[in-house]
């Protein structure tokens, strides 16, 4: 009903603005509710948040392996691994109490996803950053804007320095802490074919 954002989303928007200036680019922030389909055909795009807060993410989800879902009993958010490999879990979740109660003073394991995809209509690239809670979304933003964290993310997927970066999805784990997070590490990933959004 209102235009609202979280501190994690705002911090990422500020970091992106700095990066675009460093590369002589231009950032145009937009609330999800104010965007329209044309917005997805005009260049590179960063979608912040899951489809719970940013419905535009849903147009990419049919082609993704790690997708936001919810526990059928508790309603707590989780990431579902649609095609688990031998060493992977099918579900990556937080305890329901951390979604429904004010438990920010506790530490617990949480998860997020970073994806680099081809944009709609083959124009530009789309980056998706999302987390089960605010700290995981913050970590996702840091992974794509901080050079050292980005290098760690890419290295975890076998990327070699100075090589082209392929389209990918990476699911990562953090320790969620009061006011922040620690120990980000990639626990599953997929290197992807150049498929874009639905109807792209």
Tell me what pLDDT residue 118 has. Answer: 83
32 pLDDT exceeds 90? no
Which residues neighbour 94 within 8 Å (Cβ) at sequence distance 6 or greater?
76, 77, 78, 108, 109, 110, 111, 132, 133, 176
Which residue is associated with the tokens 């609202």?
4
Query: Tens digits of per-residue pLDDT, 95-147?
Result: 876 555 554 567 889 999 999 998 776 678 889 999 998 889 999 999 998 98
- Residue ranges of the domains in the chain? 7-191
Q: Which of 4-13, 44-53, 98-107, 180-189 shows the lowest mean pLDDT across its residues?
A: 98-107
The stretch 20-49 carries a mean pLDDT of: 73
Q: Which residue has the higher pLDDT, 55 or 147?
A: 147
Model pTM?
0.84
Q: Name, in order, each residue with C-beta under 8 angstroms of 137's C-beta and a sequence gap of 6 or more.
A: 6, 8, 9, 12, 48, 49, 112, 129, 130, 131
CA dist 107 and 96 (Å) reads: 14
pLDDT at residue 17, rounded to an integer: 67
Q: Give me the torsion for CA of 127, 4, 107, 185, rounded to 10°.
A: 10
Rounded Cα distance, 136 and 139, in Å: 5
């Amino acid at each position: 009903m209102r235009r609202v954002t979280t501190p994690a989303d705002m911090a990422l928007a500020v970091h992106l603005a700095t990066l675009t200036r460093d590369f002589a680019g231009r950032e145009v922030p937009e609330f999800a509710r104010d965007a329209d389909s044309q917005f997805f055909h005009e260049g590179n795009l960063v979608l912040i948040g899951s489809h719970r807060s940013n419905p535009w993410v849903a147009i990419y989800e049919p082609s993704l392996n790690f997708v936001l879902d919810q526990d059928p009993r508790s309603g707590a958010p989780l990431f579902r691994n649609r095609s688990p490999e031998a060493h992977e879990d099918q579900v990556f979740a937080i305890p329901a109490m951390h979604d429904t109660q004010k438990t920010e003073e506790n530490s617990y394991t949480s998860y997020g996803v970073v994806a680099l995809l081809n944009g709609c209509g083959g124009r530009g690239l789309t980056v998706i950053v999302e987390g089960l809670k605010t700290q995981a979304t913050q970590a996702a933003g840091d992974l794509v804007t901080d050079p050292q964290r980005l290098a760690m993310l890419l290295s975890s997927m076998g990327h070699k320095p100075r090589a082209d970066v392929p389209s990918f999805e990476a699911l990562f784990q953090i320790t969620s802490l009061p006011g922040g997070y620690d120990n980000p590490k990639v626990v599953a990933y997929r290197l992807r074919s150049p498929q874009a959004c639905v109807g792209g």
